[in-house]
């Protein structure tokens, strides 16, 4: 019987020329993520989904490990098309190995035998047609790390653009100049998980902090709409000093970047820390606000974090978008994305109007177009 690795090996194409370079006669370097793996003949990258076979870098293609319709607030994007349906797909594999991963079924499928998710054979056109049929405004590459499967994401995003949809990455931000330039023309929104501000913590997760900080700066300079999330894990990344340095860095890139601080719950292999409390989130949020961040949100604990689910005008403090979890209770931005009370422009990629919310909770589309492999 074919293993999952066999199944995925058959679903590959040659890497985009921008994302690979020969190092020597039979060694290649991959540039799809910050590891920049040197790959001898036959070797798999750290991500376990890109590999050198016969001097060609093979990369994932033609399947998804999961599809789901999410409210855009779940990604989370709070400053883009409020209430929109975000048609979300992922492949398999990741370049990090976070023990608390909340998408481990897709991200760790090739490392962890318990993490099995049946892939589905799809075409970019079928995927986007389904997104349109369901009324989605945004197509999102998520669930596994999108940077490592950028060729496939770009193919889908090209179809999505033809249909007038926005496109987004939900990513750990472990990027390189080459991969960001490669996706730049096709990505509208980008969420980076800023997991810590300590390189030692990133090394525990299998990465380094420098490529993540580079990605955040570069995305902002490129004009791609960026929101950041920090999953607050008690005892891991919640010291006042670390949050102070982290939020000062974000503010130095731009005080207009929304920062979401979200609650950890025991998951996957990380069961030691206690769950994050509302008070911990509010303390972290206060540090971000004191450092000048204009849009700070607290997530995963609906109704328990005071005003930290709402968007306020940073000039006159009027409430502009009122939320309960992913549910939009009130929307007051003008068609131009300004505050109706004082006229201040609120940074983001707002729609010209709030057209209602198709769903405030995720659901799986029941399309027959996708064939289980
Ligand atoms: S995507 Fe990253 S981990 Fe995978 S082969 Fe390329 S550089 Fe290595």
Q: What is the pLDDT of residues 342-358, one digit of tens each?
A: 999 999 999 999 988 98
Q: Torsions phi, psi of 105, nearest 5? A: -60, -40
Residue 53 has a CB neighbour count (10 Å cut-off) of 14
**Ligand 1 centroid to 68 CA: how many Å?**
26
Answer yes or no: is the C-beta of 95 below 6 A from any ligand 1 atom. Answer: yes
Pocket test for ligand 1, best of 148, 152, 183, 215 (most atoms within 8 A of CB): 148
State the pLDDT confidence band at 370, using cuts at 50, 70 and 90.
low
User: Phi and psi at residue 38, in whole multiples of 5°?
Assistant: -85, 130
- Going from the Cα of 248 to the center of ligand 1, the distance in angstroms, rounded, reads 30
Q: Which residue has a Cα nearest atom 5 of ligand 1?
A: 45
The per-residue pLDDT for 107 is 63
Question: In the chain, pLDDT over 90 holds for what percent of residues?
Answer: 79
Residue 184 has pLDDT above 80, yes or no: yes
pLDDT of 110 reads 60
Exposed e or buried b per residue across 246-277, where buried means at least 16 C-beta atoms within 10 angstroms of its C-beta: bbbebbebbbbbbbbbbbbeebbeeeebeebe
C-alpha span between 288 and 352 (Å, rounded): 29
Q: Tell me, using a 6 A CB cutoff, whether residue 138 lines ligand 1.
A: no
- pLDDT band, very low/low/confident/very high, at 371 (cuts 50, 70, 90): low
Distance 155 CA to ligand 1 centre (A): 19
Q: Is 46 in the pocket of ligand 1 (CB under 6 A)?
A: yes
Out of 104-108, 206-210, 327-331, which region has the weakest mean confidence (pLDDT)?
Answer: 104-108
pLDDT tens digits for range 133-164: 999 999 999 988 999 999 999 999 999 999 99
Ligand 1, residue 33: give the atom nearest the CA.
2
Q: Is 280 in the pocket of ligand 1 (CB under 6 A)?
A: no
| 13 phi/psi in degrees, rounded to 5 | -135, 175
**Beta carbon of 47 within 6 Å of any ligand 1 atom:** yes
Angle between helices 124-133 and 150-162 (to 10 degrees): 50
In the chain, the DSSP E strands lie at 12-14, 20-24, 27-30, 38-40, 51-53, 56-60, 63-64, 66-71, 85-90, 120-121, 138-141, 166-171, 189-193, 225-232, 259-263, 296-299, 311-312, 319-324, 327-331, 371-372
Residues of the chain above pLDDT 70, percent? 91
pLDDT of residue 367: 61
pTM to 2 decimal places: 0.94
Give the residue, out of 21, 23, 32, with the most ligand 1 atoms within 8 A of its beta carbon, to mutate for a pocket test. 32
Residue 221 backbone phi and psi in degrees, to 5: -65, -30
Give the residue-averaged pLDDT of 19-27: 94
- Ligand 1 pocket test: which of 20, 46, 48, 176 has the largest number of ligand atoms within 8 Å of its C-beta? 46
Q: Cα of 182 to ligand 1 centre, how many Å? A: 15
Q: Which atom of ligand 1 is nearest to the CA of 36?
A: 7
Task: For ligand 1, say whether the CB of 45 is within 6 Å of any of its atoms.
Answer: yes
Indicate if the pLDDT at residue 247 is higher than 80: yes
Return the pLDDT at 99.
Answer: 74
Q: Which of the four pLDDT bands, split at 50, 70 and 90, describes residue 210? A: very high
pLDDT digits (tens, 9 = 90+) for 264-294: 987 656 667 889 999 999 999 999 999 999 9
Q: What is the mean pLDDT of the chain?
A: 92
Residue 189, beta-bridge partner list: 168, 225
State pLDDT tens for residues 97-124.
877 676 666 666 666 555 556 788 999 9
Higher pLDDT residue, 366 or 298? 298
**Cα end-to-end distance, the chain, whole Å:** 13
Query: Which atom of ligand 1 lies at the shortest distance from residue 95's CA?
Result: 3
Of 27 and 110, the structure prediction assigns the larger pLDDT to 27
CA-based nearest residue to 231, from 344, 48, 99: 99
Provide the pLDDT for residue 49: 92
Best residue among 45, 171, 172 to mutate for probing ligand 1's pocket (most ligand atoms within 8 Å of CB) is 45
């Amino acid at each position: 019987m074919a293993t999952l690795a066999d199944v995925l090996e058959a679903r590959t194409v040659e890497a985009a020329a921008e994302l690979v370079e020969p190092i020597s006669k039979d060694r290649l370097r991959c540039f799809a993520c910050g590891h920049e793996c040197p790959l001898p003949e036959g070797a798999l990258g750290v991500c376990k989904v890109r590999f050198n076979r016969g001097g060609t870098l093979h990369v994932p293609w033609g399947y998804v490990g999961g599809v789901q319709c999410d409210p855009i607030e779940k990604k989370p994007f709070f400053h883009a098309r409020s209430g929109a349906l975000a048609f979300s797909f992922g492949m398999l594999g990741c370049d990090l190995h976070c023990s608390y991963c909340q998408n481990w079924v897709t991200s760790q499928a090739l490392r962890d035998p318990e993490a099995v998710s049946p892939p589905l054979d799809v075409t970019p056109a079928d995927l986007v047609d389904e997104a349109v049929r369901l009324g989605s405004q945004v197509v999102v590459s998520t669930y596994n790390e999108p940077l490592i499967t950028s060729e496939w994401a770009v193919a889908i995003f090209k179809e999505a653009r033809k249909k007038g949809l926005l496109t987004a990455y939900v990513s750990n931000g472990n990027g390189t100049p080459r991969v960001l330039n490669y996706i730049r023309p096709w990505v509208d929104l980008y969420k980076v998980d800023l997991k810590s501000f300590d390189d030692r913590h990133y090394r525990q997760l299998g990465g380094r902090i420098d490529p993540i900080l580079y990605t955040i700066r570069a995305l902002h300079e490129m004009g791609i709409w960026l929101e950041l999330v920090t999953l607050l894990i008690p005892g891991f990344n919640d010291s006042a000093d670390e949050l102070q340095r982290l939020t000062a860095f974000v503010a130095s890139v731009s005080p207009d970047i929304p920062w979401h601080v979200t609650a950890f719950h025991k998951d996957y292999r990380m069961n030691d820390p206690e769950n994050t409390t509302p008070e911990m989130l509010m303390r972290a949020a206060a540090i971000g606000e004191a450092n000048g961040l204009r849009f700070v949100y607290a997530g995963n604990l609906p109704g328990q974090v005071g005003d930290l689910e709402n968007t306020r005008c940073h000039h006159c403090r009027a409430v502009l978008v009122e939320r309960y979890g992913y549910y939009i209770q009130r929307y007051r931005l003008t068609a131009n994305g300004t505050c109706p009370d004082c006229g201040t422009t609120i940074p983001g990629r707002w729609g010209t109007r709030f057209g209602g919310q198709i769903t405030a909770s995720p659901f799986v589309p029941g399309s027959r177009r996708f064939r289980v492999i």
